[in-house]
Amino acid sequence: MRRSIIILTAIAMLVSCKDKAPANIFFEEWNTPYGTAPFSQIKTEDYLPAFKEGIARQKAEIEAIISNPEAPTFENTIAAYDLSGELLAKVSGVFFNLVESDTTPELQAIDEEVTPLITAAEDEILMNPDLFARVKVVYENMDGLTREQQMVTKKLYEAFVRNGVALEPEKQARFKEINTRLASLSQRFGNNLLAENNAFKAEIGISVSDYSDYMTTTEDRALREKAFRAYSSRGNNGNEYDNNEICLEIMKLRTEKAALLGYDNSASYLLSNKMAGDPATVDAFLAKIMDASMVKAREEIRDMQEVMNEDIKAGLLPAGTKIQPWDWFYYAEKVRARKYDLDESLTKPYFQADSVMKGVFFAANKIYGVNFEPAADVEIYNPVVKAFKLTDRDGSFVGIFYADYYSRESKRGGAWMNNFRDQYFDASGKEVRPIIVNVCNFPAPTAELPSLLTVDQVQTAFHEFGHALHGFLTKCHYKSVSGTSVTRDFVEMFSQFNENWAFQPEILSEYAHNYISGETIPAELVDKINNSLKFNQGFMTGELCAASILDMKWHELTAAELENFTDAQSIRDFETKVCKEMGLIDEIIPRYRSTYFNHIFNSGYSAGYYGYLWSEVLDVDAFEKFKEDGAFNPETALKFRQTFLEKGGSEEPMTLYHIFRGADPDPDALLRARGLK
């Protein structure tokens, strides 16, 4: 009752102030199709007041939980917490999606102001001893709860412990300071990288997302070297957007934070609640992959050098020229064309971006029975974004999907899935269905050409929609375990699993049509694509594994070791040392160097980038089950959906895996799939 009174009082205050201030769209019920955001009605000045009010309302809701005179139960404590912060989630869902995909200087300024406020508010909740006391009572008496309720309780209890609720007051105060500072630094890192990406485009004439295609097709070796050096020095140019000092401060603060909780380094802290469990397990896992990938990479260099030697003989290059990092894409493509009679100029005409999206949808329909239709009544936030309504086999509403596929200066690099709204059941017991976006950086169409994708970009489209399916098909009751709310080294299983459908002949025949003639992609070209998927895996796996090891080695540093880092050169020396120790050959650099490693310094993958490879073991082994049963076996697909996609984080990952596969995943499945064994 007290909670209701507080909320009603807050609402009454808002009403009384309505005549004194302009209406804020976030304070209103959105009378829009499916509760989607009315983007055109949102004013920039709406965000900050909405954030502040959202924080205040959640604070009142938490106070109501604590003040409840009844004994703590799952419903009056855990479930009540899970439902708190509705307004804050509403504004956050819109703002943080736009600040990454369609940002402006005004939004970035708000981000700088609001990020510390949200971090402080989260710390205030997760360091509240009275709330923790109630959570602890429920945690210690979970026998009568459903398995999902137990997982929700466990996750919340661990969040308190991992956020320092048991620390002494002075240490707790320092913990809060660290969290607030880290949030601001991460936000600055991302903004700097966006500026550096735009500077790269201004200098080289292409977007960062077009880098690999440019390096593959550019004959002028000097231009390739120039592009490589500009690409690999982002955030390390000694200018106002330099990220070196930010990287160092982030690592020192993360290590101090881990030490406050009794851990030797931040990797030990960050991995303690992941599938892998500890740094030693991850290090051994990555070392095996790195060794295998470098054996293959040396073979690839020999093949490329033979082609380069022909160019030397023809007088195109000086005698003695050797393969360098800026040569890899270019000569690898020449080798692929010879080995498989395949190059991107043959495949791209069949992979027009809109058609690929239809292929993504067709695969989801064929495998899971999900239906798609344009949602013309749903407002979009940028003219190039497309909205779709998803329904299930029985016609029931699944959710709303935004496809934001094309590169632009207001969008950070890379590709990702995110939720505007999670799936859960509200306080009345009504299910709330998700609103999800896939953001990519595919080349924008021009007056002369539609957006034509490389094989890798096609895989990216399927990858990100794999995340979306995880969010759409979830059937959980609580937001904290819904959809993709699973550990970092489990979440990528489902995105990577979805890539398996991209080049299945039955799927390709439905979407891969020549954009000029309308011809369906020929069977022989399909065979060439599938035969070539294991090509260049020494490089592809090596650069990914190298970035994963670099991530781990940063987070395995102790506070004493970090004191030896003083400037940009010390970071470069560290990277050189790590690459040498891991056995990375000179012709390959990590997929991300420190100053543009957004995953670990701004996107929550700290000591977690290995998760892509870890999850790939799971996805490849799971897909072998599909191949055993028949790729489109409806019973296998239904079991995959019910076991994984519907469950979200409502059960331990390996428990779910055992239910589906009946055994542990085969650790060599990844090496076999990549042609490394």
Exposed, middle or buried, 249 (CB in 10 Å: 0-12/13-18/19+)? middle
- CA torsion 174→180→184→187, rounded to 10°? 120
Nearest to 119 by CA among 226, 10, 253: 253
Catalytic residue among 333, 464, 499, 587: 464
Q: What gap in Å lies between CA 424 and CA 421, rounded to an integer?
A: 9
371-374 and 386-391 as β-strands: parallel, antiparallel, unpaired?
A: antiparallel
Q: Looking at this protein, which amino acid is placed at residue 627?
A: K
Give the H/E segment covering residue 574.
Answer: helix 568-582
| Inter-residue contact 539 to 332 (CB < 8 Å) | yes
DSSP string of 222-278, one letter each residue = HHHHHHHHHHHTTT-SSSTT--HHHHHHHHHHHHHHHHHTT-SSHHHHHHTTSSS-S
The rounded distance, in Å, linking the Cα atoms of 337 and 349 is 16
DSSP state of 165: T
Q: Which two tokens stand for residue 454?
A: 């490389």
* CA atoms within 13 Å, Cβ hemisphere of 628: 8
Under a CB-based contact definition with an 8 Å cutoff, are residues 99 and 42 in contact? no
DSSP string, 477-537: SSGGGSTT-S-HHHHHHHHHHHHTTTT-HHHHHHH-B-TTT-PBPPHHHHHHHHHHTTTTH
Q: How far is CA 308 from CA 187, 294, 328, in A?
A: 43, 20, 11
Report residue 442 as tokens. Answer: 């595919």
Q: How far apart are CA 610 and CA 589, in angstroms?
A: 16
Supply φ then ψ for residue 397, to 5 degrees: -70, 130
- Determine how β-strand 397-406 pairs with β-strand 416-421: unpaired
> Which residues are CB-contacts of 641 (< 8 A; sequence separation ≥ 6)?
368, 473
Which residues, 6 or more positions from 638, have their beta carbon under 8 angstroms from its beta carbon?
A: none
Q: Tell me the C-alpha distance between 182 and 604, whole Å.
A: 12
Q: Which residues, in sequence order, are CB contacts of 657 under 8 Å at separation 6+?
A: 618, 622, 664, 665
SS3 406: strand
Q: Which residue has the tokens 């199709």?
A: 33
- Catalytic (active site) residue 464: yes
Pairing type for strands 416-421 and 386-391 reads: unpaired
For 619, how many CA atoms within 13 A lie in the half-sphere containing its CB?
25
The answer to whether 85 and 61 are in contact (CB under 8 A) is yes
From residue 70, alpha-carbon distances to 7, 28, 128 in Å are: 19, 32, 18
* Positions marked catalytic: 464
